[in-house]
Every structure is written in C-alpha cells, then in structure tokens.
Chain A
C-alpha cells in the first residue's frame, strides 16, 4: 500500500479519490447550470405572464405562467437553502438572491410610476418634501401619512443625492428594504438560537405570508417600517440574550435607534413593535420560562427597552401625529362590531373572493394556507415541548423568547376570523405580516425536522416522494398566501377596469390631469371620485375632497336633475372651503366599480342601489351642464371638468338666462373661426 493510499484510508474525507473529486465537481457544475437556468427561465415566465395579461383578454394563462415563473425562481433557492449540505456562507447569499427575485413581481408590475392607491399618496408626500423643503406637508389622499415622514424623507435624500426620479429612488429604497426584511427574519431566528439552516428556512416560510410579494413591496410606509421593526427586534433579542457587559448596552442603543426609526415611519408597525416587545418582556419575566443566571437584569432590560419604545411612540403620537388613534380605531372597532353582528345573526359575512379575478385554484389554495400553517404550528409546539422535556431547551432567555414568538405566531389563527368582516379584513391582512414572524419561528423547526425525517428514509423513491410532497405543499402555500393578499387587478396589468385602483389609470386621465394643472395651476381644491382623485391628487398636485357622512360630496353626483343638492349646507361648505372644480368620470353612470367603492371605503349603501339594473348615477351626471353655478371647461371621452361658481352669502348667484338672446325678434348669431 502506498503512503498516499494509506493516508486516504486514515482520513478518507480530506483526500477523496480523484474520480470522487471529478464527480463532485461535475455535480457542482450541473447544479449551478440547472440553478441558473431555473432563475433565468423563471424570470422569463413572469415577464411572459405580465405580457399575456397586458395583451390578451382575461384568461388564466397569465396566472399559469406567473406561478410557473415564481416556482422556478423561488423553489430552487428554497431547496438549496433547506439542503443540509449547503454551507452557511452560501445560505446568506441565497437569501439575498431570494429577497431580490421575490421583488420581481412588483418591480415588473409598475416599473415606471406608482399604480397602487397608497403609492400615489406617498409619491405626493415625497414630492412635497422635495418641492417645499419641509416635512409634514398636508396630504390630500391619505392625511395621516404626512405625520410619518420616515419613508418620504429617506426617498427625498436618495433623490437629492443621486438625481434619480422619485419613483426610481423609491424603487431602490424598497428593494433594499425587501432584501433586508428577508435577511432580518433569518437574523431574528438566529438570534433566538436557531441554526443557520432553520433560520434560513424560516425566512423562506415568511415569504408565504399574504403581504410579502405585493403589499409590503409597494411604495408605502409599512414596506420600510416592517423591515426596521424586524431589525429592531433582532437588536432587542440580542440585547436580551447578551450577557451584561458583553454588548448588551450596544444592542440596547441599536434597538432604540431602530425603534425610533420605526416610530417616525409607520403607526401600525410601531404599535405592533411595542406589542411584540411587551409580549417578549412578559415571557422573560416568567420564572418558569426564563429563570436563569441574571434573569432579573434581563427582564429589566426587556422592560426598559419596551418602555423606551412605547414612550417614543407615545410622544410621537401625542405631539406629532395626534390623529393616529382616530385614524386606526374605526378599522378595529368596525371590524369587531361587524363580527359581533355576524355572530348574532344580524349581519352578513364578507364574501371571500367575491369579485376576484383569480382562478379557482388560487382561491382554493388560499383556504389551504391556514390549515397548512396550523399543522406546522402544532408540529412546532410539539417540538418545543419535546425539547423542554429532554432538557435541550432549559429555562432561560432562549426558552422564554421562543415561547414569546410562538405566542405571537398563534395570534394569526384568531385574526383570520376578521377576514369575514368587511372592515376587519384589511386590518387582519396587515397583521399577518407581523404574526407570520412568530408563526414561522414556530413552524420552521418543524419543517426542518420533517426534511431530516424524510432524509432518513432508506428508500430513495420514498425520500424523493417526501421531498416532492414538501415542495408541493410549499408551492400551494405560496399560491394561496399571495391570493389571500391583494386582488388580481393589483397583481397583473391588463385592460382598463373601472373602479380598480391599479387598472383605472389611462393616458386620457393622465392627459386630463396634466392639462388641468397646466391650465388652472396646482393646489386647487377639487371634488371627484376615488380613482380620478388618485391621479389628480398625486401627479396633478391638486387637493381632492375627502367625502364623509359630514361632507357628503357624493350627493352632488346623486342629486336628480332639477332637484336641490342635499344637505343644504353642502354647497355652503364647498364654497367656504374654496372647492373650485368638479371632475366627473361618466363611466360611474354605466359601470359598478370593481373594488365596490366610488368615493371612499365608507361610501353609503345608497350609492350602490341599482334602479333598473343600472348604477344610481345613471341619468344624473348630464345635469351638471345646465346647473347655473357650474361651467364645463373641459371634456374628454370620459372625463368632464366643471368650474364651480358656488353661491355664497356675499355674492348671490344670478346665473344664466334660460332663454337665448333676442335682438328685436332676431336671434343673435356668431361664427366659428379657425386660429393657427
């Protein structure tokens, strides 16, 4: 036996046979080529899906291509991450790639300008900072967001520094935040003591929540704030888990800075951050969970940081954004009361996927997600119990923290009930982006256990079948999670769809808005519907009215021809508030809006009556041409703009004479002239 062969026998792994080397290298190349082909093919399929959606009438092929693309983009990454043999250094890179490619659907959806409702409001706010040089400029689309300038200020700094347009800078900020969110979930899991592999699987699982692909990638304050909140939690957990004098002070400072960043960026994320911190502080104060060396100091640190964050939030809400509570409370209050009505039988539940454009299999998948999540959560709880029993998770900070995040995850299940309430559905969906953080921490170890269990099967066919089954479950959850989020009209481009935020923007509307701003200047107070107001209020830089029960501007549209506008104070209020233009989209008289909203989400039910099978506005919009205090100054195919010369107490309106002028029995005649 040669010396080399003897050495190889002694240490077979360090000096494999050259043929093994070659086999491994070939395997590596094959894997790399396949992986690259999947990523490129996946991106091509997503592009194709959007192209089909844009160029053909609605069918399901865009959905098929889309999901084929997303599976090709994401599942190979998920597979590699979950693989035991993947080095931890590579997992971080794979997660970075996952963060980037999972931004593709939103990036391709609107690469050049905002299209989602909230995006217009945030665009306008950033524009105001850039044009006035001041924060907190009133926002006519969503008033509350002016009081949370974190995202807008950051975008404005990017614009200042790079010379990019607002939308380009916003996209850059969002991509960074999205990738950091994925990495943040993994970092949080690792800070809870989970292995690199489990943490990375958790980050992939987090991508199944309904907000991940579209909602939290939009240009909205939550997209930035959730990332800040997650990294604030990473620092918070590190502060709790660090030993005294070994970085606890540093992690504490970092927690405060990142929490402050969350506070100035988004209200709901701040509330949730404080609630999660409180939950964690509570669990680290429970002796059965946390008692260990220095646990009192740990609990004190947790409570101190929670208190500091709560005080920062309280101060901000008290002095800078006092309207926050009145903005948020109706969602919760109305949601609860609607659920109570449903429970007592006096109210109807919200019809899930009522007007959805999604195919049946997407909708069915959405129902599978809670079941899938429940199964994994139960598995995660059983694993925790087993680890507590076998002593591998002794009392201490780690046990307390894991229990805290498990409890957070369990909040997801009761919150799903709110999806049945029209007012609560929005809040429920938004909460999932946070509760899924905990849910994934609970489910992740279970998934890894399943993978390892499958890997231990002796028969290869059984192993492959089990892996395929897990991959299929992941794919179904991905489809269902996304379908449970935003509507298909938000997700895919396509032909004009009346009453959808994302598909009601037309060149005609943009031209009308541009013409209006050129001709009448910016900053006019205008009355219009939700979809027209989005463009006029953002790109057009006008100030659309916010209709409400106390300011029912929809009554202008609803009033029958010749009948007075009710209530009587409405015209006076419009005059007092200097509303000077009314813009009408005539399609409201012929079509019902896809989102079920004409003006605001609190539209009165009377707007949705359909006398004779037609919208209530049918036959009631032509009256504007004859109303004495309105002058029609513009008309395009679908939009008409009227100047309001509202009567007031100081200048009573006489109006035009309802007879043509007559000069000694002859009609007064003019003529047309063509001008160069």
Chain B
C-alpha cells in the first residue's frame, strides 16, 4: 500500500522537474476560480495565484535553480513581481488600445506567465542533473567578501523550508489577530451618526430660468429628514425682492424620523415677461441652530418667467 508520503515521494521529482508548467496550469485555473462567489472566499484562492505565479515564474526564468532566492525572500520577490506584472499588463493593454477588463488582464497575464514558464522550464531542463552543459557544476570558491554570518547562512539552506512553514503560521496568526480586531471593533457600540435634514427641487433639472405656462406650474421639492425624532417644521414660500412678499400661505409640517416629505409649490401665471425669484424655506420651529443660535432653516430657490410673454413687457 502506498501512503501519502509515498505518493509525495513519487510526485516530488515530477514537481521539481516541471514546476514552471504546473505553476502555469495553476494560473490557468483562475478561470474556474471565477466561478466562486465574489468576495473574500474567491480572494483567498485567487490572490495567491495571481501574485505568486507570475512572480515565481519570473524568478524561475531569471535564476538558475541553485541561485534562486529561497524561503521568505522567494515569496516576497514573487509577490512583488506579481504585483509589478499586473501593473505592466495594464500598461501593455493600454498601449495596445485594449480595454483593461477582467478577461483582457487575465489573458495578458497568462501570456506573460506562459512565456516565463517556457523560459523557466528550459533553464530547468538545461540545468537538470545529467543534462546540458552545466552537468558538472562549477566548483565553489569561497567569496572573500562574505561576512561570517553569510557564510553560516550558506551552510544552512535546509532551514529555509522550516522558515516557510513558520511564516505561514505567523501569517495565519497575524491575519486572525487583524480579523479578530476588526470583528471586535465592528461589534462594539458606536455613536449614532449625526442626523440631518435636506431639501431639494425634484422638478426637471434646473439649468436656468424655469418657464411657467399660461396656466402656471407646479415645482416639486423633497424634504428628507434623517433624524432620530419627529420634528415640526414651518414651510413657507416668498417672492424674493425688496421687500420679499409671501408667495403661498405657510404650512406646518411634522416629519417623522427617516421620513421623506414630497411636496410642490404651485406658481400661478405671471403678469409680465420678467424673471422672478421664488424661495421655498423650511424652518424647524423648536430646533436652534448651534452656529447661528436662531431657529434652523433650510431654503431653495428658483428663477421663473412666463414663456408666453415677451421680455419687452418687463418694466
């Protein structure tokens, strides 16, 4: 019976011999990964592939197996190269006038990864024991520039695998701490957001004067009350001028928490071709404005004129 260790032992050389190609296959698997629901679950699978595959293939293409950075350094280089490649892919797409979309970025990175995988695999095959011109390997001469610390490190290459495991464990612990902190912060009581009220026109977008027909016009507006309690308001409308005079009889309103009041002001036909400014104002009768120390008010205005009457009639 072959145990897991036996399978691993048999697969080991297969991986070592063709890791660039296997890694490329892993990158190809980003297409089925996209079937996962969007969000953290997909990110947990896709981000390591997206970052580490192009990066590790770059390292494989550039370095011989013996000189390639190992352990944490390999992961960091691979991740950063992956990030750089994603930026370069976007630049390449832009340069070729292709839109930067999920699909186009994926195909671009796949092409880059494929090229890198071919180079890395070629290097691997040329450098594999028993093949190519590097069979014998070069005799190691100690570098006089190496410090004692580096000389010791060079002897302890085996430790790099353990370094990787510890780093993975540290990542899990660190991410759990961050996640736990976020969860706790999110679940602690937070102060209620400060409430507010706003009013705005809802009629067709105002870009200049509003034309009033011979039958007058209704100008719609909206009052949104995002407060935790019911507030009493007085709604008024005036013709702006010196002096301003009422346009309509004031209205008393009581708007509940998180409620919206939709209303309109009816503007009768105008006597001449002049443009007039109307102001619709809202006053909170029992709410003192902390800045002005007066009752809080809101207002909107609009300029109106009658279409049927000539400007010449405005005196």
Contacts and interface: CB of A to CB of B under 8 A. Distances in A.
A161 B46 contact: yes
Given A254-B77, A635-B299, A658-B241, A674 B166 contact: no
Given A672-B248, A672-B251, A153 B91 contact: yes
Contacts of A233: none
Interface in B171-193: 171, 173-175, 177-178, 180-182, 184-186, 188-191, 193
Contacts of A87: 159
Interface stretch (A11-19, A241-249, A326-334, A355-363): A241-249
Given A633-B300, A656-B303, A153 B39 contact: no
Nearest to A290: B145
A586 B87 contact: no
A507 B197 CA distance: 11
B80 A196 contact: no
A351 B173 CA distance: 42
Contact of B275 (A153, A169, A657, A672): A657
Nearest to B98: A133
A645 B196 contact: no
B52 to A, nearest CB: 11
A484 interface: no
Nearest to A660: B239
A93 B275 contact: no
Contacts of B173: 39, 97
Interface in A41-56: 43-44, 46-47, 50-51, 54-55
A506 B195 CA distance: 9
B105 A157 contact: yes
Contacts of A394: 144
Contacts of A662: 271
Nearest to B306: A661
Contacts of A495: 191
Contacts of B153: 88, 190, 196
A46 B181 contact: yes
B100 A133 contact: yes
Contact of B94 (A135, A636, A657): A135
Interface in A61-97: 87-90, 92-94, 96-97
A656 B272 CA distance: 12
A117 interface: no
A93 B169 contact: yes
A228 B301 contact: no
B226 A511 contact: yes
A161 B300 contact: no
Interface residues of A, number: 136
A287 to B, nearest CB: 15
Interface stretch (B1-9, B18-26, B63-71): B63-71
A33 B204 CA distance: 67
Interface stretch (A104-112, A209-217, A426-434, A597-605): A104-112
B84 A257 contact: yes
Contact of A258 (B46, B80, B175, B276): B80
Interface string B222-266: 001010000000010101111011111101000000000111111
B111 to A, nearest CB: 15
A175 B58 CA distance: 22
B123 to A, nearest CB: 10
Contacts of B62: 250, 253-254
Contact of B194 (A164, A179, A187, A506): A506
Contact of A55 (B150, B182, B190, B194): B190
Contacts of A661: 239, 270-272, 274, 276
Interface string B267-287: 110111011110100000000
Contacts of B51: 176
Given A153-B86, A253-B62, A658-B241, A519 B200 contact: yes
Interface string B136-157: 0010000111111110010010
A100 B251 contact: no
Given A96-B171, A100-B175, A631-B301, A180 B76 contact: yes
A149 interface: yes
Given A511-B224, A661-B239, 7 more contacts: A101-B174, A107-B178, A156-B90, A193-B150, A519-B205, A656-B277, A661-B276
27 contacts: A47-B184, A47-B188, A51-B188, A87-B159, A100-B175, A107-B178, A108-B181, A111-B186, A135-B100, A160-B106, A161-B47, A162-B38, A183-B72, A198-B149, A234-B73, A515-B198, A519-B200, A587-B291, A635-B199, A657-B241, A658-B240, A658-B241, A658-B242, A667-B245, A669-B248, A672-B248, A674-B261
Interface of A: 39-40, 43-44, 46-47, 50-51, 54-55, 87-90, 92-94, 96-97, 99-101, 103-104, 107-108, 111, 129, 133-136, 149-151, 153-154, 156-158, 160-164, 168-169, 172-173, 175-177, 179-180, 183-184, 187, 190, 193-196, 198, 224, 227-228, 231, 234, 241, 243, 245-247, 250, 253-254, 257-258, 260-261, 264-265, 292-293, 394, 396-398, 495-496, 506-508, 511-512, 515, 519-520, 586-587, 590, 625-626, 631-639, 641, 643, 645, 654-664, 667-676
